[in-house]
Chain A
């Protein structure tokens, strides 16, 4: 492309939109993108098996170039995303965004996004498989198992048995890195459609 062509493309009129920083929802989606990129980088070295898992995270943190930074950014962005998603639910509540013709869908998507980010957080937290990760996952799984009606079944599916094991680690990893990213993709896509129609701000 010639310089003149490039200039013509750059000077093409487009809708003036504020950057994603002006809207916490769009900031959360950007941070989710950061998670996808850093997560893909971590997945290059991570191994989802009880002892290999700890060693691979050790390798990422100590030996891989900038591995510690990628891992720390992944964690920091995860924390901020959970906070932002919670803020979005609170904002939707006080703005009463659940009223009106598309209100129910808007609310379910907002709450769904929050719960999904929480699920990402809890499954991701267990993956290093160190003492803290293991016992935190055990505590969380016990909490899920104590929930009336569906709790024991959900906990059983997540753990693949009565307690946290290698099967659980593989399942948590599969949910964290394969299953939930797809769910998140469709959730974000649907949210963007609603935003384009002006149903949510």
Chain B
């Protein structure tokens, strides 16, 4: 059985729970903010321990437990593969360094950084009578405030909401490609 402490449980509450378990002769193995108990607790014991302050749940547990060895080895393997992949990319695509900056000499080919490609595409394709950065600014505000702007849409018409998202993605891709081709 697993006895899980709530995240707000104080040290005293945890100690009190452990004392109560010891008094009832129940062995408790600590495991990541929880205690592993034997499965043969009586109903009275379960009700008593579950009612102690600081206890979030006491049950057979739905979470899987492992050992620190397995978990940390998995983490190490994941870290090594990510770092290996990064090193592989880095060795093949070294960071560029051109000539020193010269504010008086504008380069012939001026390409913005890639995350800004769709933004520049939007600037280029907006009509002349609009301030150049109005559409990107509006898009940014809409993105940040989407729970307010589109919350009702997402709640009432989920499919329309999804369609809107797909349209926005397609538009972004299209603007990026248009800007790249320019």
Contact = CB atoms under 8 A, between A and B. Distances in A.
Given A143-B119, A146-B133, A14 B147 contact: no
A interface, how many residues as a size bin? 35 or more
A175 interface: no
B112 interface: yes
B95 A13 contact: no
Contacts, number: 190
Contacts of B33: 15
Contact of A75 (B7, B32, B95, B101): B95
Contact of A14 (B71, B90, B146): B71
A129 to B, nearest CB: 5
B134 A148 contact: yes
A192 to B, nearest CB: 12
B174 to A, nearest CB: 16
A69 B98 contact: no
Given A10-B69, A13-B36, A72-B95, A54 B86 contact: no
B39 to A, nearest CB: 15
Interface in A68-111: 68-69, 71-77, 80, 82, 86, 89-90, 93-94, 96, 98-99, 103-104, 107-108, 111
Interface of A: 9-21, 27, 30-31, 34, 50-51, 54, 57-58, 61, 68-69, 71-77, 80, 82, 86, 89-90, 93-94, 96, 98-99, 103-104, 107-108, 111, 118, 121-122, 125, 128-136, 139-140, 143, 146-148, 151, 163-164, 196-197
8 contacts: A13-B32, A15-B64, A51-B100, A93-B165, A128-B95, A130-B97, A131-B98, A148-B134
Pick the 3 closest A-B CB pairs, nearest first. Answer: A72-B90, A134-B101, A16-B66
